[in-house]
Every structure is written in structure tokens, then in C-alpha cells.
Amino acid sequence: MDLIRIKNVEKKYKNGVTAIYDLNLAIEKGSFVFVIGGSGSGKSTLIKMLYREEKPTKGQVIVGGLDVAKLKNKKVYKLRRKLGIVFQDYRLLPKLTVYENVAFALECIGEKRDIIRIKVLKALEDVGLKNKVHEYPDNLSGGEQQRVAIARAIVNDPKLLLCDEPTGNLDPEKSMEIMRVLDSINKTRGTTIIMATHDKEIVNKMKKQVITLKDGHLVKFKQKGTYAE
Amino acid sequence: MKPFRMLGRSIRDAVKSVIRNFSLSLASISCITITLIIVAIGIMASLNVKNFTEAIEKDMTIVVFLKNDATAEDAIEVEKEIKKISNVEKYTYQTKKEIKEKMQSESEVFKTVLNNWEEDESPLKDTYQVKVKNINQIKETALKIEKIDKVAVVRYGEGMVDKMVKAFASVEKVTYGIVIGLILVTVFLIINTIKLTISARRKEIGIMRLVGASNLTIKLPFIIEGMILGLLGSIVPVLVTTYGYYAFYRHFDGYLYSRLIQLIKPEPFIYQASIAIVAIGILVGMIGSASAVKKYLKI
Ligand SMILES: Nc1ncnc2c1ncn2[C@@H]1O[C@H](COP(=O)(O)OP(=O)(O)OP(=O)(O)O)[C@@H](O)[C@H]1O
Ligand SMILES: [Mg+2]
């Protein structure tokens, strides 16, 4: 079954730049997909349309049966509860501890305290940070901070995890650590992962599905793809 | 359970940011305080004016004095004429003797003075006391009665009271103007206070949006913050109102200038006024924060 269906999608920004041209895609539940392409090729735009940060100017974006393009502003939160999002810059709250940062995602949606505790500890275990629960983000390495962000993204058991250059700020070693975490989330939790990146090494090593964008056009969608210019 | 949890969180966040932006919060609170004190005085003054205006109007009477030489038959003729006037609701007849007795019973001074006069040299006259149906046409009715034969003079209303009510009315208008101006300034200050809170929490709000907090959950802390500012701003006005009115009432012994102008009893009046003041405070706070949220939190 397809978790995501993109039909004839075009995204033209207000300044006249067209970031995506006539895109058609179907992504299966449980898959791990890389989105690659040069700078400005439209990777972030594609990801943003999936979590309804941007609306397509034409076509349909369907995520888990929900027509995202038609979703009213007031209802966006319903989509967001079904997915997790990770960015290059971690976006943690510096005044909260690791535990509190992850718990924040559940508090915001009114989850019960004891359920929060169970889910947060499980998520932190999954990213290998159970021993840093009471640290503040500033005392963690970049890789660890990113793992906290991943824990926050998966704590509500989303069907879909969107990552926009999650390893962009990390050295190759830490990047591979993040990739192992993501891979195990994909395998053990069955979470569908879509990750935009331009890290060739990672793409080549992981042997996952690869969507290649060039100047807003889909040029390739390969199973077990590699990074080829 | 869930709504309570979310409410608890919102209140906690709101209290935190009132404390964090203390100087701006204090400015808003002071402005609400000043506004509400004036509003409170305005409310109490206008309710009192309304109260005694109604009381005065209720027993506003046309007093018809008959000529000194009017006989009993003349009095009956006058009565018939008065009866014909449509605006007349009821009337009572009092002879000079009855009036004299009534006045003597009310005052020691009158008692001795009036006793010095013989029946036929008394300055008092036989009178009809006429109550009208419509107070607005009292002047026309009085003029009609004055034209009746054997009627000497007609009196109605009290010029002093009339002027005072009019003066109060114009004071009321000025007060309205000041209050509206102050409310606008207050709302402006609250908008700025909340704006500061919002910008201090931009990042947090962004994350809340990402993890799927509903719009209401995001907005609620800011709305509550405005309401807290309003609530804090109404404390001093409530105290001023309660103690002030008690003192005022006691000082004047419940009456102003004359027995005619009776003040509203402090209880339960001051409690009702206090509730109104707190409600206005919270409402103004809410309006301020709601418009700030709308303006700076486009979600
Ligand atoms: N908010 C925006 N308003 C206008 N134009 C935008 C906006 N966001 C992106 N663009 C433009 O759309 C095109 C695609 O941008 P996008 O961010 O999707 O690229 P990307 O593949 O993520 O690039 P990078 O690898 O540098 O992150 C670019 O030409 C960019 O300038
Ligand atoms: Mg990008």
C-alpha cells in the first residue's frame, strides 16, 4: 500500500521561482527513500509539501489518505501528529533537558504524564541516549543533539519520518551513526522514512530507494540506488 | 482530563511570561488599573444618578395652589377641570389646615411660626397635588392647570435637582470619552506585552506547530496571559471601589445634599460593581491578547 501519493504536483513560489515541475510519485509504506539532487533542485520544497509547510500550486499530495493540499490551516495539526520531522539544525529548546525536549512533543498534544514517561524513555533508548536523559542540549555533541531531535520526532509513533539533511552539520562518522539509528527505526518500528541529502557516501552505503531531482524535475526513482551525477 | 491538562499547562506558561516580562506587564497592569478606577467611579456615579433620578421622577408632583378667595364650590369646579386632563393620573386635595398640621409635625420651627397666624391670614393655600402619567409632558399639563379659573399658581419639579441631573449627564459623557481612550491605550499596551512574549517564544511555537499542537493549544497561553494582566489590574480598582464607596456612603449618611437624593445602599451594590469591574478587566485583557495573537501568530 502506498503511504504517499504525489500526482501532477507543481510548486511555484510567490517570487515566481518554480521549485517543482509536474511531479508524480508513490511511496510505499515502510520504505526508506533518499531524495537527492543539487542545491536548489527542490528537495526541501518536496519535504515541505509533505508536512504542509508549503502547499502545491497544482496537483495532489496525499499522505496516509489525507489530501494535504486541501487541508485547512486549522487542521494542519492533525497531519503533523501522524509524522515526525528532523532538520539539519536540530531545533531543540536549550532550556529544556533531553527528556523534557522529547516529552514536549507529547505534552503539546495533551498526552498523559505516565504515558509520556514510557514513550519518551523508549524513544531515547531507540536512539541510544538513555544515559543522557537529564543533560541539556548545549552539553551534547552535534550527533547526540540530532539523536535527541530524532527521538522527539518518533516519540509519538508516527507512520512517516521526514528528514531534511539530518547529517548536514555532522562529520562522516557521526553521520553514519545517525544513519544506523534511522535504519533501525525503519526496520524495528516500520516507520516510513524520507530523507533529503546530498551526502553521496551515505546514499551509496545505505542502498535504499533514491529519488533524484534536478532543477525541479524528477529524473530518476530507483530501488537500491546510488548517487550518480 | 485532557482539556484540564492543557489548561494547566497554559496557565503555568502564562504566569511564567507575566513574570519574565515584568516591566511591560506592570505597565499594562497599571494602565488597566487606572482605566478600571475611572470606569468604577463612572459606573457607581451613573447608577446612583439613575437611581435617584428615577426616585425623584416617581414622586414628581404638580402642586396646584388655589386662590385665597376660592370657596369649596370653586374647589370642586377646579377638581372637575383637572379630571378632564388626560395626562393626570391621580390627585389629592389638601386644605390649608391639613398642610399646616403636616408642616408643624415635621419641624419645630414651623410649629411656632405657623401657630402665630390666624386661619384667614395664613400664607398657606388650599392645594391639589397632581401626579402625572407621563413625566415628559409635565410642563404642558401644568400650563393647562394654571389656566383653570381660581387657580393661583402651579409648581412642579425642583429646579436644583433638574440642573444636577443634567450636570451629571454631561460629566457622564466626558467620562465615557476618557474611559474609551484609556481602554484603547490599555489594549495597545497589552498587545505589545503579548507580542514580546510571542517573539520570546518563536522557536517554541515553531516546534509546537511541527509536533502537532492544535492552534488553540498554541494560542491559549497568550490569551490567558492577557486575562491574568486584566485580573491583576482589577485588584486595586475593586479595593478602591469597595472601601471608597463604603466611606462615601457613611460620610454622607446615605444622602447627598438633601433627603431627595438618596444613595444606593453599599450592599449588595459594591459586590455587583466589583464583579463588573473584574469582568471588564479580564475582558479588556482578553481582547488585547486575542488581537495580538491574531496579528503576530499567523497560524
Ligand atoms: N520560500 C521560498 N520562496 C521563494 N523561493 C524559494 C523558497 N524556498 C525555496 N525557494 C526556491 O526554490 C528552489 C528549490 O529550493 P529548495 O530549498 O527546495 O532546494 P533544495 O534542493 O532543498 O536545496 P539545498 O540542497 O540547497 O537545500 C530554489 O531555487 C529556491 O531558491
Ligand atoms: Mg534544502
Report pLDDT digits (tens) over B145-203: 888 888 777 777 655 556 666 777 787 788 778 878 888 888 888 888 888 888 888 88
Is residue A46 domain-shared with residue A18, that is, in the same domain? Answer: yes
A12 within a domain of the structure (yes/no): yes
Convert the pLDDT of each residue in B122-138 to its tens digit.
667 778 888 777 766 77
For residue A229, pLDDT over 60 is answered with no
Percent pLDDT > 70 in chain B is 90
Last residue of a domain, one of A112, A128, A157: A157
Q: Is residue A196 part of a domain?
A: yes
Residue B251 is predicted with a pLDDT of 87
* DSSP-derived 3-state class of residue B110: helix
Dihedral angle computed from the Cα positions of residues B186, B192, B194 and B195, in that order, rounded to the nearest 10 degrees? 160
Residue A164 shares a structural domain with residue A185: yes
Mutate to test the pocket of ligand 1, among A11, A36, A45 (most ligand atoms within 8 A of CB): A45
pTM of the predicted structure, to 2 decimals: 0.75
Q: Are residues A97 and A60 in the same domain?
A: no
> Where does a domain end: A111, A139, A157?
A157
CA distance B216 to A138: 31
Q: Do B213 and A51 touch (CB under 8 A)?
A: no
pLDDT of B69: 78
CA-nearest residue for atom 1, ligand 1, is A13
Ligand at minimal distance from the CA of A38 is 1
Beta-bridge partner residues of A18: A12
Vertex A224: Cα angle to A218 and A227 (nearest 5):
60
Is residue A75 situated within a structural domain?
Answer: no
Least confident of A78-87, B62-71, B200-209, B234-243: B62-71
Inside any domain, residue A136: yes
* pLDDT tier, B16 (very low <50, low <70, confident <90, very high otherwise): confident
Q: What residue's CA is closest to ligand 1, atom 16?
A: A42
In terms of domains, do A152 and A168 share one? Answer: no
Q: Is ipTM strictly over 0.95?
A: no
**Domain match, A14 and A61 both:** yes
φ, ψ at B43 (rounded to 5°): -60, -50
The nearest CA of chain A is from the CA of B288 a distance in Å of 22
And the C-alpha cell for B133?
Answer: 402619567
Q: What pLDDT is attached to residue A208?
A: 93
Provide CB contacts within 8 A for B222, sequence distance 6+: B14, B194, B197, B198, B289, B292, B293, B297
The reply to whether A56 and A118 lie within a common domain is: no
Q: Do A18 and A55 share a domain, yes or no?
A: yes
Q: How confident is the model at residue B299 (pLDDT cuts 50, 70, 90)?
A: low
Same structural domain for residues A153 and A164?
A: no
Q: Show the cell assigned to A40.
A: 536548489
- % of chain A at pLDDT higher than 90: 88
In a domain, A123, yes or no: yes
Q: Do A104 and B217 touch (CB under 8 A)?
A: no
Which residues approach ligand 1 with their CB closer than 6 A? A 13, 15, 17, 19, 37, 39-45, 198
- C-alpha cell belonging to residue A122: 523508549
- The answer on A56 and A29 residing in a single domain is yes
**In a shared domain, residues A52 and A118:** no
A76 belongs to a structural domain: no
Q: Give pLDDT tens digits for A69-116.
A: 899 988 999 999 999 999 999 999 998 999 999 999 999 998 999 999
Full domain range(s) for residue A148: 92-157
Residue A110 has its nearest CB partner, among B6, B203, B210, at B6
Q: Which residue has the cell 504517499?
A: A4
Model pLDDT, residue B198: 84
Give the CA radius of gyration of chain B. 31
- Shortest distance, CA B224 to any CA of chain A (angstroms): 16
What pLDDT was estimated at residue B137?
73
CA distance B289 to chain A (A): 19
Within-domain flag for A27 = yes
- The strand pairing partners of B92, in sequence order, are B129
For residue A77, being part of any structural domain is answered with no
Output the domain CATH number for residue A187.
Answer: 3.40.50.300
Q: Are residues A176 and A226 in the same domain?
A: yes
Considering its fold, how many domains does chain A have in total?
2
A-B CB pairs within 8 A amount to 53
- Residue A215, pLDDT above cutoff 80: yes
Query: Do A115 and A14 have their domain in common?
Result: no
Domains, chain B, with CATH or none: 2-56+163-297 (no CATH), 61-155 (3.30.70.3040)
